[in-house]
Amino acid sequence: MHESFRPLTGASNPHLQTLLPRLVRRRVRLKPHWQRLELPDGDFVDLAWSEDPAQAAGKPRVVLFHGLEGNFYSPYAHGLLNAWREKGWLGVVMHFRGCSGVPNRKQRIYHSGETEDARFFLRWLRATHGEVPTAAVGVSLGGNMLACYLAQQGADSLLQAAVIVSAPLMLEPCSLRMDQGFSRVYQHYLLGQLKQNATRKLLHYPDTLPLKLPQLLALRRIRDFDDVITSRVHGFSDATDYYRRCSALPLLPAIQTPLLIIHAKDDPFMTDEVIPDIAGLPRNIEYQLTEFGGHVGFVGGSLNKPHMWLEYRIPSWLSPYLEPVP
């Protein structure tokens, strides 16, 4: 019923699709339960639950890994958590380091291939809240990270299923795309968010980034940020090395967890190089390429009654794994 996507009437344009969720999902429909999870290296990540997990024992769980500089208040995040709550599932956003509005303590931040925090969190989740059916959803950067994690873990992912949406599975060409045409508007916005976050961290912890504030403010592209911060902090020689080693597309054949990957053909953050060779995918991966949808947009229906397609498509696909028929 919810498998195919039809864009909102008169709004098939990819930029409209990309921007519309901020208009139709402006109101946060649930109050999250916040929790701070301390990490083994002395840092932390913040969790936003759809409800108190102590009161939700036995409910199926869905973990959300957000996109670049995303958080619970990103329209897709609180929209999906509310959709999962309405299904009777427990949802949680694992904020990457520094993305909950509070600077993280250590030099490490997060990136498209940084899987250690996700691995620790999923193990902690099972050990703390028991073994119940659990799925993960990764959006944009979080989707590439999730694909890397699934490939690394093989049969030991601790997940019954996963969904990846609008993920830049080839980082180099996606970086080049962000420097072209109207996509530069998105790059300007995201770079501003990155710089704002890094500025906050430098003010709190002056020696935790490999540059000073004037150098940070002079950066003009996301690739520049990745060259002088992301790569240096995480042991890559430069942005090119980071992009090569952390692109998830070549890793897809190693994934054993049931997985749905969703891309829009008109995504202004992507190029066709993110589209996998369908014939080369393992049988546990389903790939859906829609004609329209933009970047994490997928807004259907009408202006009077917009339809957030991902909030139906994702729960529908996950249901057999989270609520198996006896």
In a domain, 183, yes or no: no
The whole-angstrom separation of Cα 97 and Cα 69 is 10
Which residues 6+ apart lie within 8 Å of 310 measured at CB?
Answer: 76, 79, 80, 165, 262, 296, 298
Question: What phi, psi does 278 have (nearest 5°)?
Answer: -55, -40
74 is catalytic: no
Whether the Cβ atoms of residue 96 and residue 45 lie closer than 8 Å to each other: yes
295 is catalytic: yes
In a domain, 222, yes or no: no
Segment 189-229, tens digit of pLDDT: 999 999 999 999 999 998 889 999 999 999 999 999 999 99
Q: What pLDDT is stored for residue 44 in this prediction?
A: 98
Segment 40-63, tens digit of pLDDT: 999 999 999 999 999 999 999 999
Segment 58-90, tens digit of pLDDT: 999 999 999 999 999 999 999 999 999 999 999
Helix (H) or strand (E) holding 76: helix 75-86
Task: Please pick, among 78, 129, 263, 295, the residue that the annotation labels catalytic.
Answer: 295
In a domain, 68, yes or no: yes
In a domain, 302, yes or no: yes
In a domain, 178, yes or no: no
Of 23-37, 89-103, 163-177, 252-266, which gets the smallest average pLDDT?
A: 23-37
Whether the Cβ atoms of residue 24 and residue 299 lie closer than 8 Å to each other: yes
| CA 47 to centroid of chain Cα atoms | 14
Here the tokens at position 85 are 């709550």
Task: Please pick, among 46, 226, 227, 267, the residue that the annotation labels catalytic.
Answer: 267
The whole-angstrom separation of Cα 86 and Cα 145 is 27
267 is catalytic: yes
Q: What is the DSSP string of 138-184?
A: EETHHHHHHHHHHHHHTT--S-SEEEEES--SSHHHHHHHTTSTTHH
In a domain, 76, yes or no: yes
Number of domains in the chain: 1
pLDDT(30) > 90 = yes
In a domain, 255, yes or no: yes
Where residue 3 falls among pLDDT bands split at 50, 70, 90?
A: confident
Here the tokens at position 89 are 């599932």
pLDDT(2) > 60 = no
212 CB burial (10 A radius; 0-12, 13-18, 19+):
exposed
pLDDT(6) > 50 = yes
Segment 90-105, tens digit of pLDDT: 999 999 999 999 999 9
CATH number reported for the structural domain that contains residue 46 in this entry: 3.40.50.1820
The whole-angstrom separation of Cα 127 and Cα 123 is 6
Torsional class of 301: left (φ above 0), alpha (ψ -120 to 50), beta (otherwise): left
Q: What pLDDT is stored for residue 27 in this prediction?
A: 87
Which one, of 179, 147, 186, 132, lies nearest residue 276 by Cα?
147
pLDDT(326) > 70 = no
Where residue 115 falls among pLDDT bands split at 50, 70, 90?
A: very high
In a domain, 61, yes or no: yes
> Region 147-155: what's the mean pLDDT?
99
pLDDT(16) > 90 = yes
**Domain, as residue range, for 149:** 14-171+247-322
Task: Please pick, among 112, 140, 231, 247, the residue that the annotation labels catalytic.
Answer: 140
Segment 258-317, tens digit of pLDDT: 999 999 999 999 999 999 999 999 999 999 999 999 999 999 999 889 999 999 999 999
Q: Please give the radius of gyration of the chain, using alpha carbons only, rounded to the nearest integer.
A: 19
pLDDT(1) > 70 = no
**133 or 27: which leads in pLDDT:** 133
